[in-house]
Amino acid sequence: MRIDRKTALLIIDVQNDFCEGGALAVPDGSAIVPVINGLMPHFETIILTQDWHPADHRSFAANHSDASTDDVSTMPYGPQVLWPTHCVAGSTGALFHEDLLTDLAQIVIRKGFRATVDSYSAFFENDRTTATGLAGYLTERGIRDVVCVGLATDFCVAYSALDARKLGFRTHVVEDACRAIDIDGSLGSTMADMERSGIVTCQSSDLLSSGGRRPLA
């Protein structure tokens, strides 16, 4: 793979609530912002995703009686981790990190805006059938390769990368441009899933070598 006009950078959920001080902070989350900013000028196609929940979202522990954060609830589409209230539409927590160079992106995919279904992946909601439209956008632009960065490695990044691979895109995850939550070993299991699916993990330095045109795989 070479980074060229058929390669897209997918920047996942780099929002205030997932960074230090946020409602669902990923440890060291804001540290990825300068890494991502350094990658962005090397891509012609850049997509941002943004969690955008209503306040009554069913993935919030506060909206379930006798439930706590990190409990697992059974939804019509299967098991669902219950989270702290986060990234409520229009709130400060839902905004992108202030240092992220959002003006370089061409499109924002908002996800999780339906109260009854969560959405980790940039491609599908958690019912695994409702599409966000991102696959069509990438296909129309002739994209063959997707490079994933953002928060958190073991949830929204992994789900997005796995779906990208299933949809036929060659997929890379830039490890130093991601951070994980790691609930009960979730990081190890998702990394193993990605490796089995053929997703390539790399460092940002690999992408930046030779002006961002170095073959990766």
Q: What is the pTM of this model?
A: 0.95
Which of 62, 41, 52 minimizes the C-alpha distance to 212? Answer: 41
- Choose among 12, 9, 6, 8: nearest CA to 158: 12
Q: What is the mean pLDDT of the chain?
A: 94
Instruction: Return left, alpha or beta for 86; rule: phi > 0 is left, psi -120 to 50 is alpha, else beta.
Output: beta
Q: Which residue has the higher pLDDT, 207 or 163?
A: 163
Pairing of strands 78-81, 170-179: unpaired
Task: Please state the rounded mean pLDDT for residues 8-25.
Answer: 98
Decide if 111 is catalytic.
yes
Question: Catalytic residue among 19, 87, 148, 156, which?
Answer: 156
pLDDT at residue 2 above 80? no
pLDDT at 155: 96
CA dihedral 33, 95, 150, 204 (to 10 degrees): -20
- pLDDT tens for residues 18-70? 999 999 999 999 999 999 999 999 999 999 999 999 999 999 999 999 899 99
Alpha-carbon distances of 153 from 52, 62, 76, 159, 187, rounded to whole Å = 19, 25, 25, 9, 7
Angstrom distance (rounded) from CA 139 to CA 182: 32
| Residue 202 annotated in active site | no
Contact 15, 95 (CB under 8 A): yes
Which ranges in the chain belong to alpha helices (H)? 32-39, 134-140, 158-166, 186-197, 204-208
How many of the other CB atoms lie within 10 Å of CB of 159?
Answer: 22
Q: Answer yes or no: 19 catalytic.
A: no
What's the pLDDT score for residue 183?
87
In the set 17, 19, 111, 163, the catalytic residue is: 111
Share of the chain above pLDDT 90, in %: 91
Q: Which residue has 């060291």 as its token pair? A: 28
